[in-house]
A and B are shown apart, each in its own frame.
Chain A
Amino acid sequence: EAGVTQFPSHSVIEKGQTVTLRCDPISGHDNLYWYRRVMGKEIKFLLHFVKESKQDESGMPNNRFLAERTGGTYSTLKVQPAELEDSGVYFCASSPLPSGLAGVLSSYEQYFGPGTRLTVT
């Protein structure tokens, strides 16, 4: 079974440019999450999709960030225009929806991708 994949692995852009990050979750995982780690800080939650719907976007820093998950499969995170403080590692994670006796707990186990390192210069 393929894990969570993210593309690109590294992106270097200039301030003011646009960048789109992509995440492909584990097949069948309806929960999809984006997190970010700015250098020297904690990994911070950005948002949570359930299928194609945004369940929680309380962590999105501002309206320069736009996340989509059309069709409930892969997701994109667009930063437009990028600022210096957007530099960091963006992680995507996925988990299944609750189902069956052990299903509720399995939803808490998030499988992470390798991350996209974004450098804004």
Chain B
Amino acid sequence: AQSVTQPDIHITVSEGASLELRCNYSYGATPYLFWYVQSPGQGLQLLLKYFSGDTLVQGIKGFEAEFKRSQSSFNLRKPSVHWSDAAEYFCALPSGAGSYQLTFGKGTKLSVIP
């Protein structure tokens, strides 16, 4: 069965520091992969997506993610974190071939120290 693992429950970084949030997946083929962000009091917002092609994908708010098939990973990165990036981040993938339902990781909560 498809699954997503986000190993870090909570990460704290200083403003201006770089960020990498980890996501590992289990899937029988090349998956579609998504990163969502939930800011306090807000809904889930799509940050970026990977369907195929270039393994480095750019998203909104200066985020990027790299798909690495050999490591079954799709880590989210940002070179310089802003205080407004404090939120919870979710990695997700469709639950099966032809299925639109998403399987989510448990989320990583990001705190930013001013």
Contact = CB atoms under 8 A, between A and B. Distances in A.
Interface of A: 3-4, 6, 31, 33, 35, 41-45, 48, 56, 59, 91, 93, 95, 105, 107-115
Contacts of A111: 46
Q: Which residue among A31, A59, A108, A113 has the maximum number of chain B CB atoms within 10 Å of its CB?
A: A108
B90 A43 contact: yes
Nearest to B90: A43
Given A33-B102, A45-B95, A108-B51, 4 more contacts: A45-B101, A45-B103, A91-B44, A108-B100
Contacts of A48: 100-101
A1 to B, nearest CB: 15
B106 A31 contact: no
Interface string B96-114: 0001111111110000000
Contacts of A6: 43
Given A42-B107, A43-B90, A108-B94, A114 B100 contact: no
Interface in B40-59: 41-46, 49, 51
A110 B41 contact: no
Closest 9 interchain pairs by CB?
A112-B44, A114-B43, A43-B104, A45-B101, A112-B43, A42-B104, A42-B106, A113-B43, A105-B51
- Which of A3, A44, A48, A112 has the largest count of B CB atoms less than 10 A from its CB? A112
B19 to A, nearest CB: 22
7 contacts: A42-B107, A44-B104, A45-B103, A109-B46, A110-B46, A112-B43, A112-B44
A24 B26 CA distance: 33
B32 interface: yes
B100 A42 contact: no
